[in-house]
Structure formats: C-alpha cells, structure tokens
C-alpha cells in the first residue's frame, strides 16, 4: 500500500499544512466490519465456479472476496459475498444484510493494516437468473464495494434461494 502525504508550505511566514493522505490499496482484504448489523468477518478469496457463477465462502461466518475483480478501495467495483440462511438455523454472516440503510458504514481492512470506509448507497434485489453486470463493473472512475447474498424463498430441489440482494457502497 502506498501512503502519500505532501507537506505544502508558503513562501512567507504563514503556516504550512499537510495535504490529505491518499491510500492506494494493494493488499487483499482480510476483514469486513458492518457495525449497523453487528458483522465482523474474516475474508476468504473466491473465484468463479466452472458454471461461471461467483464462488462462495466455505462456511457461514466468513465472506468471500472475488479475486478477479478489484481490491476494495481501488477504482472500480470490488465484490464480496456471504451466506444467508445457513442450514440447521446456524447464523450466517449476511442474515441481516437486508436491514442496511443508505448512509450505513462498511469497513474493509487489508493485509497491510489499512482500513477503507465505504458508505451504503442503495440495496437492490435481483432474480436468481437476472443479468447483473453492474454489480461487477463500474465506469465512473470511483471506488465501490458491492456485497451480495441470497434472499427470498428456498428451493430445496435446486438448493438455492430465489433472489440475490446486492448492497452498493461507495468509498468515503
């Protein structure tokens, strides 16, 4: 992670001031925190399955970061997913994701100990097979974090929920 700070002075006797610190993420995320829903979770790296779907974290308490996307804090859309409705009533990391509101904060700590703060912009539901390319890409030149989980009715035959919930958040 590059940490850049400039000291800018004046030519006279006026005070010098320090410009804002700009952090450029370069390390994979390690931890995700969402205080509004009492989430503190370790981050696993996930890829894409052989069927082209986003991979999921192994267990109910961690989140998966899609390694084919950007690192949280970089320009573009970083994507993380987590489970909802784990078997046998075991709590899952994103069971309460649907209760987030615009303005709630999300914290991502990277492997170098830097924390990036994201602000929830909106929540959106997608059907299980709906196209959702905007979840994985952005072209506005800003850094985003998009969180994905399942929601809706459980289909025991397909072993899947009927909808996907996406939380769109922007770097603060």
Tens digits of residue pLDDT in 13-35: 444 444 444 455 568 999 999 99
DSSP state of 156: T
The pLDDT, as a whole number, for residue 24 is: 56
DSSP assignment of 79-146 equals EEEE-SS-GGG---TTTTGGG--TT-EEEEEETTS-EEEEEEEEEEEEETT---HHHH---SSSEEEE
Q: How high is the pLDDT of residue 53?
A: 84
Question: Mind listing the pLDDT tens digit for each residue in 76-94?
Answer: 999 999 999 888 889 999 9
Superfamily of domain 27-171: Sortase (2.40.260.10)
**Domain parsing of the chain, residue ranges:** 27-171
pLDDT in tens, 133-171: 778 888 899 999 999 998 888 888 877 788 899 999 999
């Amino acid at each position: 992670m590059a940490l850049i700070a400039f000291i800018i002075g004046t030519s006279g006797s006026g005070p010098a001031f320090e410009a804002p610190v700009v952090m450029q993420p370069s390390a994979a995320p390690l931890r995700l925190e969402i205080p509004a829903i009492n989430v503190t979770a370790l981050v696993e790296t996930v890829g894409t399955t052989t069927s082209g779907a986003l991979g999921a974290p192994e267990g109910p308490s961690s989140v998966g970061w899609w390694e084919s996307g950007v690192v949280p804090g970089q320009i573009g859309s970083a994507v993380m997913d987590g489970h909802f409705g784990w078997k046998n009533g075991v709590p899952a990391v994103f069971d309460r994701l649907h209760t987030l509101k615009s303005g709630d904060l999300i914290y991502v700590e990277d492997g170098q100990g830097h924390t990036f703060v994201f602000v929830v912009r909106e929540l959106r539901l997608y059907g299980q097979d709906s196209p959702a390319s905007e979840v994985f890409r952005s072209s506005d030149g800003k850094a985003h974090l998009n969180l994905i989980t399942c929601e809706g009715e459980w289909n025991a035959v397909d072993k899947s929920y009927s909808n996907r919930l996406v939380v769109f958040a922007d770097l603060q």
